[in-house]
Chain A
Amino acid sequence: MAEYHMTTPLSDEDVSKLEAGDIVYLNGTIYTARDAAHKRLVDLIEKGEQLPFDLKGSVIYFVGPTPPKPGEPIGSAGPTTSYRMDSYSPILIEHGQKGMIGKGKRNQAVKDACKKYKAVYFGATGGAGALIAKAIKSAEVIAYPELGPEAIRKLEVEEFPVTVINDTHGNDLYEMGRAKYEVKD
């Protein structure tokens, strides 16, 4: 289990060295999107239109934050459950996305895409929204403001703590961790 500090955009080389279970502290720009925004991004790709941000090397955080208090960049901002993005993520990965941050299991298609196109799925601690918000230094809605908490936000983060769940080699921390501690009768 290694520890890395990385700055976005991520390269093939960056993500290829990561193994399931590694801790990564992310720096730089990351983008937020949940189901509704993912659907719109995939629609744009299918129509061959330009996306609201550059997918190449990007990291997308699955989050719908609480409204910020006056003078603060963002409210509480922990991860949402990732499977709702499973039907969209492989298409984004094929078009250059390198990292996803969420919580919970991904399907085989996402894991295959991580392996084939070199991308990783990071887990953040669900329910630690107040703590995680401390790593977010600024937030700006860059697309779909009408989606409210589900709008796409551009975040600047410092030492944002995540754990590698699915790496580029086909490993899955959820399966590995559970196999280690499961007690079979």
Chain B
Amino acid sequence: MREIAYDDLVKSVKAMVMHTASHLPEDALKAIEKAYREEKSEVAKSVLKQILDNAHLASEEDRPLCQDTGLAVYFIKVGEDVKVVGGSIRDAINQATEEAYKEGYLRASTCDCFDRHNLKDEVGYNLPAVIHFDLVPGDRIEIEYAAKGGGSENVSRATVLAPAQGKEGIKNYVKQVISDAGPNPCPPIIVGVGIGGTFEVAAKSSKHALFREAGTPNPDPDLDAFEKELLEELNKLGIGAMGMGGTQTVLAVHIEKNPCHIASLPVSVNVQCHSSRHSHITL
């Protein structure tokens, strides 16, 4: 059994969280630069220019890209032959999140869902982190992280279609969700689509789909073709950067599929704003 020290885990995750708040990853940056080159609307182009200027400034001066520094969302694959010594993995992730958000001057955004008071003083600063664990073979811990903002989360939707609605039904549903969202989720956006599974599996897949590097092909050729078709359809909506009208509304569509019940076709659409702050480490 391989061992990883609790403190080392905290240190690595904390560094990743702090860095991600102010450094837009290369995939997002390249996708926005491409949108800037291809945009036809002058107004939308000026918005994309501001977004790029902001990314460079944030990185140079180590400032948060956006004031919504998100809820901390993790997908963690834990190898069956690795053990964290000195504490639990969940505690390490939460500790790293809290320390990074505090020391990085990031915003604490977790609150009680009814009375809306901020949970920073009782549960912890921007805690609890949202953690999805998976147990896998091997002796590594693989951690994918995203700082997920609220504006794009608010327009995300899920449904269960009838199997007969098929791909056409999925396409219409995704198009409706993005059309209704309009300017609200801070376009240009990345659209994560989770298909199949049960209701919650579709939702989780749509979130995980957002972690893939934008611009990389889907390993499944059929899904890759479907992603490209959806991308083209969605960019016909004309929403444009920050909704001001334009040809570049969606930077990428990412699909994950799962086997599902013979009676169901679950579909979930999770939207990611242009400030696609994600990162990953393997320990």
A28 at the interface (CB under 8 A from B): no
Contacts of B43 in A (CB 8 A): 1, 21, 163, 177
Inter-subunit contact B66/A178 (CB<8 Å): no
Which of A63, A67, A177 has the most chain B CB atoms closer than 10 A to its own CB? A177
Inter-subunit contact B67/A66 (CB<8 Å): yes
Q: A180 to chain B: which residues have CB within 8 Å?
A: 41, 238, 245
Q: How far is the CA of A65 from the CA of B68 in the complex (A)?
A: 8
Query: With A75-B64, A77-B67, A127-B273 known to touch, is A182 a contact of B236 (CB < 8 Å)?
Result: yes
Closest to B41 in A: A181
Say how far A83's CB is from chain B's closest CB, in angstroms.
7
Contacts of A178 in B (CB 8 A): 182, 237-240, 243, 245
We find that the number of chain B residues with CB closer than 8 angstroms to chain A is 49
- A75 CB contact (under 8 Å) in B41, B105, B120, B236: B105
**B247, CB-defined interface residue at 8 Å:** yes
In the complex, A161 Cα to B238 Cα: how many Å?
23
Q: What 1/0 flags go to B49-81 for Cβ under 8 Å of A?
A: 011011001100101111111000000000000
Residue of B nearest to A161 (CB): B50
Interface size counted on chain A using CB atoms at 8 A? 47
In the bound complex, how far is the Cα of B274 from the Cα of A56, in angstroms?
Answer: 36
Q: Is A103 an interface residue (CB 8 A)?
A: yes
Measured between beta carbons, the chain B residues less than 8 angstroms from A81 are 150-151, 154, 184
A87-105: CB near B (< 8 Å → 1, else 0) gives 0000000000000000111
Q: Which residues on the B side are within 8 Å of A63 (C-beta)? A: 67
Q: In the complex, what residues of B have CB within 8 A of residue A131's CB?
A: 50, 53-54, 57
Hey, what's the 0/1 contact readout for A121-159 against B, CB within 8 Å counting as 1? 001011111111110000000000000110000000000
Choose among B64, B150, B154, B182 the residue that contacts A76 (Cβ–Cβ < 8 A): B64
Q: Give bound CA distance, A83 to B69, whole Å.
A: 20
> Which of B65, B154, B184, B247 is A127 in contact with, Cβ under 8 Å?
B65
A179: interface (CB < 8 Å): yes
Minimum CB–CB distance for B60 against chain A, Å: 9
Verify A103–B183 contact, CB threshold 8 A: yes
B20 proximal to A (CB < 8 A): no
A183 beta carbon closer than 8 Å to chain B: yes
Chain B interface helix/strand/loop/mixed = loop
Contact B244 A130 (CB under 8 A): no
Whether B2 sits at the interface, judged by CB under 8 Å, is no
**B275 proximal to A (CB < 8 A):** yes
Q: Mark B202-246, 1 if CB is under 8 A from A, else 0.
A: 000000000000000000000000000000000011111011111
- Pair B183/A104 contact, Cβ less than 8 Å: yes
Whether B183 pairs with A174 at a CB distance below 8 angstroms is yes
Task: Tell which of B50, B53, B61, B238 touches A177, judged by Cβ atoms closer than 8 Å.
Answer: B238
A52 CB–B CB distance under 8 Å? no
Contact between A127 and B66, CB atoms less than 8 A apart: yes
A168 at the interface (CB under 8 A from B): no
Q: How far is the CA of A129 from the CA of B22 in the complex (A)?
A: 11
B275 in complex: contacting residue of A127, A176, A181, A185, CB < 8 Å: A127
B264 within 8 A of A: no
CB of B35 within 8 Å of the partner chain = no
B133-167 contacts to A, CB under 8 A, are 149-151, 154
B238 touches A181 (CB 8 A): yes
Residues of A with C-beta under 8 A to B107: 64-67, 75, 149
Find chain A residues with CB under 8 A from B68 CB. Answer: 64, 78, 80, 129
A-B CB contact pairs (8 Å), 6 listed: A68-B105, A128-B54, A130-B58, A163-B43, A178-B239, A184-B236
Which 3 residue pairs spanning A and B have beta carbons closest together? Answer: A177-B245, A181-B238, A182-B238
Question: With contacts A64-B107, A83-B184, A105-B184 known, what are 20 further pairs, Cβ within 8 A?
Answer: A66-B67, A66-B105, A68-B105, A76-B63, A76-B64, A77-B67, A103-B184, A105-B243, A123-B183, A123-B242, A123-B243, A126-B66, A127-B275, A128-B51, A129-B66, A163-B43, A163-B244, A174-B243, A180-B41, A181-B240
